[in-house]
Amino acid sequence: MLILGLALENKYKNRKNMSNLSHFISQNLILCIIFVLAILIYLGYEIRQAKSGRFQLSIQDAINLTNRDKGIFLDIRDSKLFNESHIVGAINSSAAELKENTKTLNKYKNNPIVVYCATGAQSASVCDLLKKAGFDKLYTLKGGFKQWLQDKLPTDNKAVAHNEMNTDKKDVKNRKDKNDKNDKK
């Protein structure tokens, strides 16, 4: 009998809670509509991300993925910027080149590919292009190369180092020429 009494008491409490909820909704209808819309927008975004097969990775997650699963970094900036500085081990194919021909990346089709540009704005469209070409494991680097530099992570600066070496050689040559002129006097 006690159990039946508790069950009936809970039934009436639930009715009271439901009436409180309906009262709250009626009093705050606009707030409730905004809340439901926010949830729907968020779910729509998550579903679109999952369907596209591309995910935005933090820099640390991208490093872990490339190290663990033999992934590659794909720099889609133009070759001039790539030659100035890029993520160590990255390969370069500009967005314009990839629109013309994705076959250059076919040997990486089974590897995870982390696509990055300067800020992360163009990477998603290149991932969509590669997805249509049959690539599956596609990711974008959150914040792009700019974020990589801000985090002070290692870069390959061969072109910059090469230019600095040339400058140093010129300085040495100029000093040598000045010394030779002084010796002749």
8 A C-beta contact, residue 161 and residue 75: no
Residue 111 · residue 71 · CB < 8 Å: yes
Predicted local distance difference test score (pLDDT) of residue 3? 53
Half-sphere exposure of 42 (CA within 13 A, CB side): 6
110: pLDDT strictly greater than 60: yes
Count the neighbouring beta carbons within 10 Å of the beta carbon of residue 144: 22
For position 22, what pLDDT does the model report? 84
Across-strand partners of 86? 156
Alpha-carbon Rg for the chain, nearest whole angstrom, is 30
pLDDT of residue 176: 39
Angle between helices 29-52 and 123-132 (to 10 degrees): 50
**Predicted structure pTM score:** 0.60
Q: What are phi and psi of 160, to 5 degrees?
A: -65, -45
pLDDT tens digits, one per residue of 146-183: 999 999 999 988 643 322 323 333 433 443 344 444 44
